């Protein structure tokens, strides 16, 4: 499936169903799925589904940005997946080591007179505002929020470990 953005802007989820992203004289801001959703997808592929093919990004005279979810989004989605039984928190660390579905190796890009950013973290303001908002609504406890603050600006195993520890504390 093709995601086309011409002479304008698009903001939405990065989806495995869309295999080719074409941006011409515009901007596409794509949000990576949370680690919990990536882990569920990776686990379901092992059960017999065909492996995911590469995603292709073509950017001409524009920009494409692929952004990580905020820590608040990661925490809430992991919490929801654990509560509804689609992900076992005890196996979380094992799944992380096998996760490769949305890594750079599954993406190819061609950019002419434009830019592509694959590993864009949320800004510190976005992280802090997201955590503050979810604390205010009571979705994240104060203890979990303090732990999540330690992950601001971090990537990879450290970021995933902070989300895991926050969920255990919550």
The torsion region of residue 60 among left (phi > 0), alpha (psi -120 to 50) and beta comes to beta
Task: Read off the pLDDT of residues 129-151 as tens digits, 9 standing for 90 and up.
Answer: 999 999 999 999 999 999 999 99
Task: Read off the pLDDT of residues 2-19 as tens digits, 9 standing for 90 and up.
Answer: 888 889 999 988 877 778
Predicted model pTM:
0.84
Count structural domains, the chain.
1
Residues sharing a CB contact under 8 Å with residue 97, sequence separation 6 or more, in sequence order:
none
42-60: average pLDDT: 73
| Structural domain harbouring 63 | 2-169
Give the H/E segment covering residue 61: none
């Amino acid at each position: 499936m093709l995601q086309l953005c011409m002479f304008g802007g698009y903001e939405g989820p990065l989806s495995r169903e869309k295999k080719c992203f074409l941006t011409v004289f515009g901007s596409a801001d794509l949000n990576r799925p949370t680690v919990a959703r990536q882990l569920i997808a990776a686990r379901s592929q092992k059960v017999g589904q065909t492996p995911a093919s590469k995603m292709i990004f073509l950017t001409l005279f524009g920009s494409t940005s692929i952004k990580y979810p905020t820590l608040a989004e990661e925490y809430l989605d992991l919490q929801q997946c654990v509560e509804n039984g689609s992900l076992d928190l005890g196996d979380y660390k094992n799944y992380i080591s096998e996760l490769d579905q949305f890594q750079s190796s599954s993406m190819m890009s061609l950019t002419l007179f434009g830019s592509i950013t694959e590993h864009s973290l949320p800004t510190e303001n976005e992280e802090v505002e997201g955590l503050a908002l979810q604390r205010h609504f009571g979705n994240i406890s104060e203890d979990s929020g303090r732990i999540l603050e330690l992950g601001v600006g971090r990537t990879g195993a450290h970021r995933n470990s902070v989300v895991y520890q926050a969920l255990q504390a919550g």
